[in-house]
Every structure is written in C-alpha cells, then in structure tokens.
Amino acid sequence: MPKKSDKGDEIMEFNIIITGIGGQGVLTLTNIITWSALKEGLDAKASELHGLAQRGGAIACHLRFGDKIYSPLVLEGKADLVFALEPLEALRSCYFGSKKRTVFLVNAHRSIPSSIFIAKEEYPSLNYVLDALKPFSNKVILIDASEMAKRATGDAIMANMYMLGYACAKKLIPLKRESILNGIKEAIPERYIELNRKVFDLGFEANNVTIKD
Amino acid sequence: MESILLNEYGKKVILLGNEAIVRGALEAGVGFSSTYPGTPASEIGDTFSEIAKDANLYFEYSTNEKVALEAAAGAALCGVRSMVSFKQYGLNVSSDSAFPLAYIGVKAGMVIVVADDPNCWSSAQSEQDSRYYARLAHIPMLEPSDSQECKDFTKIAFDLSEKFNIPLLLRTTTRVSHGRGVVKLGKIVEGKKRGRFNKDSIRFRNFPPYIMETHEELHKKLSELRRISEEIDINFSLNEGSENDLGIVTSGVTFNYVMDALQDLKLDLPVLKLGMTYPIPDDKIRNFIKDLKSILIVEEIEPILEESVSALAKDVNPELEFYGKKNGYLPRSGELKEWHVLLAISKITGVKSQFNPIAQKEEYKKLSVVKRPPVMCPGCPHRASFFATKSVVGEDAVFGGDIGCYILGIYPPFETQDFVFSMGASEGVIHGIKKVSDQKAIAFIGDSTFFHAGIPGLINTVYNGSNPLIIILDNRSTAMTGHQPHPGVGVTGMGEKSKVINIEDIVRACGVENVMVVDPFNVKEMEDAVREYLQKEKVSVIVAKRECQLLAIRRKKREGIVIPRFGIDQSLCDGCGICLYQFGCPAIFIENDKFFIDKDLCTGCAVCVRICPKRAIKAMK
C-alpha cells in the first residue's frame, strides 16, 4: 500500500516475506513477484537462499518493491505480507509481521519434518499457529492451497501459484493482475507457463476457499 | 536466464547478483571463465555454463579452485579477458597461485570473484572475510552492494585490471550474490577469444631475483590504484552538507541497511560508501572524517575498514570517537542486518525508532517453533551408505566428515560427521587419528570432493601407512551446489562429452590394494563390505556408487520409466520404527501411532523394503 512520508510525497514501499520448505517453489514465487514489480515500473529487490538450506529445510525469501529500494531484506515488524506455503514456516517468520500492517496468507497443508518423529517433538496444531500469529498480524488468511492445487493438477507443488492467484485477486499484493501475468512469463520456463497460468487463474477466481479469514 | 544475453541497451531486467556479474563480464568482453562450484558463488559458473555456447566463450568446471584460477590466469596471460569465481574457501585453495599472480600480473583483464558467506548459510568452515586477502596478496578489490553494482563493478574491474596489468578481486557476500534486483543493461561486447603467450616478458618468470623487482612494480601499481580510488565515483559520499557530527563509513550490502535505517529514523547523517575497498582512498576518508565528532563503521564481516579509518583518524582527527564492531555497537559474528544498524544509530544519537526489532524477537522466543533442519532427500544414496555403515560399526568408530550433501549426516539418526574441516580433510585428519589411536576410523568423502582435494590425502595414507576405511560417496554429481558435472561424469562445463575418469582406477593407482565398488542401495552388500574392510591392516576404500536420486528421478521421468511407490502393510508392521528412527527417511511419518509412507515424497528407492525386519513395506499397485 502506498505509504506517505512525513513530507507528504508518496514513497511507496511494499515488503513481503515468502516462506516455506525447499522444493515448494519459494524461489520461483520470489522471482515472479520481483519481475512483476519491475513490469509496473517499480524498483524491486529480493533476497534468496540457495544451497544447503534447500534440502528439505526451512526457507524464507525477502522481497521489497517501491519507488526506491535499498535493502534486499525486510526489517523485523515491517512486512506487509507474509506469504507462507506451510503453517510452521509462517510461525518461524512471524516476527517480520506486526499488528499494524501485516497480512499472513498461510497454506493450511502441514508438512511434518521427520526430525520431529526422531526427536519426539510436537508439531504445532493449526490453532496454536493461528493464536501465535495474533500479536504479529493484522489479519491471517488460512487457505487450503495444496489440496486445491492437487485437485486441479494432481500435484500439490502448484500450491504456490494457486496462492499467488488468490493474493492477486484479493489485492494482498498491490500489483496489477497483468503485471503478475507478465512476471510469470519472465520467471517461468516457457513449457511450464500454461500449467502455472491455469493454477494461477484457479486461485484468482477462487471463492470460499479459506479455512479462516 | 534469457535476460543475460539480451542485447537491448538500457533495458531493465531482474537479475540475481551472480547473474549480474556474468552480464557484466559479457559487457566487458570476457572470453574465458572457470570455477569450482561453491555456494554462494555457484550460479556464476552455472550461468556461464548455460550461455557459453550462445555467447561464444569458453567455460569450464575445473577440478578445484586453484586449478580454476591458474587456468583463468593462463588465458589472461595470452591476452584473453578471463573470470574465475568461487566461494570464500575457494580463494584459500587458490591462494598459492593467487599471490604470485599479483606479482606476475596479467595481459588482458582478469577478475577473481570471491563470495563470502556471513552467517555460514551454505558454508561449513568459518565466517571468513576475504577482504583480508586483498591486503595480504596486494590484489585490488571492489565490493558491489546490489545486482546493478555487480554488473557495473565487474566491468570496472576488467578495465582496471587490464589498464594496470593486475588481477582484480570482486568481493560479494551472500545477500549480494543471492540478492535479486533491477539491472539496467549495457552493450554486450565481443571480446578476444583466442590469444597467444608471448615469451618476451621476464615478469612471468616469478623467480628470484626478479621477484624483488616485480614486488617493487606491484607497489607502484598499487600507489597508482590508490589515486584511482580517490577519484573513482564508486567511492562516494552522501549528505555531506548535513549538520550532524556523526558520520558513517560503509561498504557492500550493509550500505543498504544504513540507508534504510536512516530513513526509518528520519536522519540525514553523512555517509561515505566505498565501492573500492583496496586500496582505500586515504585522502577521501581523511577529508570525510576531519570535522566529525564521531563515526560509525558498518561493514561485513570483520572490522577491516574500522581499523583502516582509525589509523587515518590519527593524522586528521585524533579525538574522533569510533563506533562499530570493536566496541560492541555491531556484532562480531553472524550476518549484519538492518536492525543492528538501526539500533546502533539509535543508541549513538538517542533518536528512537518506531520499530522495535528486539521486542519482536523477544515475543517470538516465547513461542514453540520446532526446527526444520535440512535433510538428505528421500531416496538419497548417502542415507543408505550411512545406515549400512552404522549398522555394522554402531557408535564405536570415529566418522570423518567432509564437504557435500553428506554433511547432513551430522544430524540424528546418523551422526556420522564427528568432525568437519574443509574439502578433502576427512582423509588427512582420519590418518592422523589412526596413527595415534586404536579406534576404528572411517572417512566419508564425496566424488567431486575426492577429485578436488581427496587424492593427496589418500596417497598419504598409503605412503605413510595407516589403515582407515575410506568410503567415497559417489553420487555421480556435485550435488549440493546444484548438480554440476565433474571429471568422473564425463561431461564438461560446455556441455560436451569428455573422458570419464573412474574413481576406483585412481584409488588403485594411488596404491590402495583393498578397493571395492558397491551399490549402497544393496544394503547387505554394503554392510558386508564395511565389515570386511574394517579388519584390514592397510587402508581400504569402498566406492559407494549410486546416482543422486534427484538426478535419477529426473532422468527416469525423461525416459518414461515408471517410478514405483511403496506403502506399509499395517497387518505386518509391528512399529519397530527402524525405517524412521534408524534410517530417517523423510517420506515416512507417524499418524495415530502407525507408520506410513507419504507417496508424494517417496522416490521408490526401496531401501526401506530391504531393511524392514517384518517385510511389511511393499510396492503399491
């Protein structure tokens, strides 16, 4: 959302944390949205993590766009959107959010790491996650994206595109649909664009898919 | 990826810092590029590999960073612009040749890219600040702060290198290399691809007494470069007219944290941003600090600028108060973030921030957030190797660790990395242990790591006579850094077929008598091999050969091969949990006290079928 500076001139700045597990398409989403911001003529920066962390581990990418962006990282408390492909990962990144400004869009599908069974730990319940996010959020939207993506394509991996479509339709990301579609064209290999578009559209048109809104 | 080759001057595209470096090299007319893969530098080589043919240049994955640097030096000595890239430890490996290269110099521009990894996101050795190398080896250094600067500075580095006949270091950190941002494209230049080594220069013959002459010459070059550093516009200051008597000196990605923190605090402190950090612009710094009361130095990782500025302050402003890493205003370890800078400025100036990152984190700490450590993938052959080895030796052995995906064996249930040093060190250290201890000792080393630095260590165990068991985990790829090929695979960085060099042949040629090649998915065979070889009086080597499962799945899908999935027959499963607690497959989970296989995660390796004592795991229809 455009934020006014004290001097009254418009310094638009929008900060997103995209989080999930290696292999869920966190990097792809980051790349798409960064391109989408550029398509709208904005400055944009993102920070990714590659290598070690990608092997089934937790990943959080930072993404910022606006008139002039310096840091590729979001300051704690300054996220406008936490885009979480997994509930535990929403929790892990929650401190980037704040009551004033942050929407959490959370995929409800839980992915339980085997380390939890091996170390006999407890994976938090969805209710625990929702409660815990309260002090860090203005709004939490829980969406069954993996299930919807799986129904549409037979593969839960497309949950990221489903959520992107949803976020675009509900204006959780202040970028035009056209810009995001152009972003998809830039960031996705040509042979996969059609499938990604299809799932994006499903998410865009989705209604009543939220478990909690 | 296509953006890298776009020849549309002035067009804006999104590039990863590492991709922007490649683009900068193309705009500088690079003809030769080499690397050994290492995160956070890997995508530089991978991007070159992908575009080399279209861009009409040469690229190679060398066997290690020292060879990579030497190869790039060879090209530059022949008048072809070259780039070598690696992570911070790669510079260590290459340093034996990097030091004399500074004396010898180059004919065409040569850029050495080194990517540091504060916080060790993808590193397992130390939080090294490679900026010390610039000073130690007398190699000039540039430090970009984002993707645009990655491209621009690369071009500047090539030009300076060629002008002064000296290699240049381009230093990034993880947030720069793996930062994505807007880059305005320049023109791609077709540079020289072929050259010739001329014997006319004695300075290439780095041998006394010439060394003293070239050393002298090197210092002349550096003093000229110091003048460049005074004038070059990548060393610039902001807010100089500011009334504030606190100034900030910064470089690299941390410049961005400074700018954001100042905006958040609504301050306009004077800032000196250094893009060229060796040689530093002494006069420019003196000028910047002379009227200030205090100074904050913001840099990653060690207080290098802090020390340099402090020395300069003695001439012009001995009363200047310093804030930075040395007096605890900024942390000495870990990655710097905006909040560190925000709090430091806030503490010094007394200006309160509307954000309270510490309170945020305190609130977060109250929550129970279970860890999700990175794991070996479902179907990873290393898991089978570790399982078989541990089922034979139990806890009663020293496990030498090394650098690669198998480092993840550090976690339960395996804990098969009792020590980790550096590439190839599993063998060297385990030899020393074997020389003084009667414990059983097993070194695990990967295929690419073996080619990189494992051969001298192996020869040493043969020559100096110790008897560890060395297990070479040959997954036919440099998997951790993104599946780059290596000499055992027979494919080059240009994507061309090459001679396959068999690891077992090398092992035999090193004088090892006990050599066996085993498929680790055949658990029984692997266990027998470990059992037999642990009894040997001389060093023995098992090559555990099985393609990385990620590559295998990709290949099978391409070839139309059906990947079987497995399920647990609940009527046979007695819940012993070997498949989960001892084998640790991420596809296996518990629900209502029963064990199941997640069919979306299962990759059909069938190792669990072999290790289940009740034969309860079966192929699904």
Contacts of B364 in chain A (CB under 8 A): 94-95, 136
pLDDT of residue A23: 85
Instruction: State how far residue B138 is from chain A, nearest Cα, in angstroms.
Output: 31
This model of the complex carries an ipTM of 0.95
What's the pTM value of the predicted model, to 2 decimals? 0.97
Residue pair B315/B287 in contact by the 8 Å Cβ criterion: no
Which residue positions in chain A have pLDDT lower than 50? Answer: 1-8
Whats the size of chain B, residue-wise? 621
Interface size, chain A vs chain B, as Cβ–Cβ contacts under 8 Å:
185
Mean pLDDT for B437-442 is: 96
Tens digits of residue pLDDT in B526-540: 999 999 999 999 999
Residue pair A124/B368 in contact by the 8 Å Cβ criterion: yes
pLDDT of residue B104: 95
pLDDT of residue B205: 84
pLDDT of residue A156: 86
Instruction: State how far residue A30 is from chain B, nearest Cα, in angstroms.
Output: 9
B601–A contact, CB cutoff 8 A: no
The residue among A50, A93, A147, A158 with the most chain B CBs within 10 A of its CB, best to mutate, is A50
pLDDT of residue B298: 98
Tokens coding B554: 């990709």
From residue A100, alpha-carbon distances to A10, A103, A105, B151, B354 in Å are 19, 9, 16, 38, 12
pLDDT of residue A10: 55
Tens digits of residue pLDDT in B30-57: 999 999 999 999 999 999 999 999 999 9
Instruction: State how far residue B569 is from chain A, nearest Cα, in angstroms.
Output: 20
A95 with B16: Cβ contact below 8 A: no
B185–A contact, CB cutoff 8 A: no
Tens digits of residue pLDDT in B113-167: 999 999 999 888 899 999 999 999 999 999 999 999 999 999 999 999 999 999 9
Name the percent of chain B lying above pLDDT 90.
Answer: 94
Mean pLDDT for B287-293 is: 96
pLDDT of residue A51: 64
From residue B453, alpha-carbon distances to B382, B425, B505 in Å are 20, 8, 16
What 3-state class would DSSP assign to B458? helix
B180 with A72: Cβ contact below 8 A: yes
- CB atoms under 10 Å from CB of B561, counted, come to 12
Residue pair B298/B250 in contact by the 8 Å Cβ criterion: yes
CA distance linking residue A2 with residue A175, whole number of Å:
11
Mean pLDDT for B402-421 is: 95
- Please classify residue B499 by burial: count the beta carbons closer than 10 Å to its beta carbon, then call 0-12 exposed, 13-18 middle and 19+ buried: exposed
Spatial neighbors of B311 by CB under 8 A, at least 6 apart, are none
CA distance linking residue B224 with residue B160, whole number of Å:
11
b vs e for B166-195, b when ≥16 Cβ sit within 10 Å of the residue's Cβ? Answer: bbbbbbbbbbbbbbbbbbebbebeebeeeb
Spatial neighbors of B608 by CB under 8 A, at least 6 apart, are B566, B579, B583, B585, B588, B597, B617
- Please classify residue B243 by burial: count the beta carbons closer than 10 Å to its beta carbon, then call 0-12 exposed, 13-18 middle and 19+ buried: exposed
pLDDT of residue A52: 65
pLDDT of residue B203: 77
pLDDT of residue A4: 46
Residue B495 has pLDDT above 80, yes or no: yes
* Whole-number average pLDDT of chain B: 96
Tokens coding B567: 């399920």
Contacts of B372 in chain A (CB under 8 A): 21, 56-58, 88-89, 92, 113, 115
pLDDT of residue A5: 43
Spatial neighbors of B193 by CB under 8 A, at least 6 apart, are B31, B32, B56, B57, B58, B80
Name which of B106, B84, B90, B244 is nearest B163 in CA terms. Answer: B106
For each of the domains in chain B, give its residue range(s) and CATH number, in order of start: 2-231 (3.40.50.970), 235-354 (3.40.50.920), 381-556 (3.40.50.970), 562-619 (3.30.70.20)
Contacts of B407 in chain A (CB under 8 A): 52
Tokens coding A196: 């990604």
pLDDT of residue A155: 84
Contacts of B369 in chain A (CB under 8 A): 88, 91-92, 124
B481 with A76: Cβ contact below 8 A: no
B599–A contact, CB cutoff 8 A: no
Name which of B159, B151, B145, B157 is nearest B111 in CA terms. Answer: B157
- CB atoms under 10 Å from CB of B415, counted, come to 13
Tens digits of residue pLDDT in B198-210: 987 777 888 888 8
Helix (H) / strand (E) element for B464: namely none
pLDDT of residue A9: 52
For each of the domains in chain A, give its residue range(s) and CATH number, in order of start: 13-212 (3.40.920.10)
Contacts of A34 in chain B (CB under 8 A): 14, 180-181
- Composition of chain A by helix, strand, coil, percent to 5: 45, 20, 35
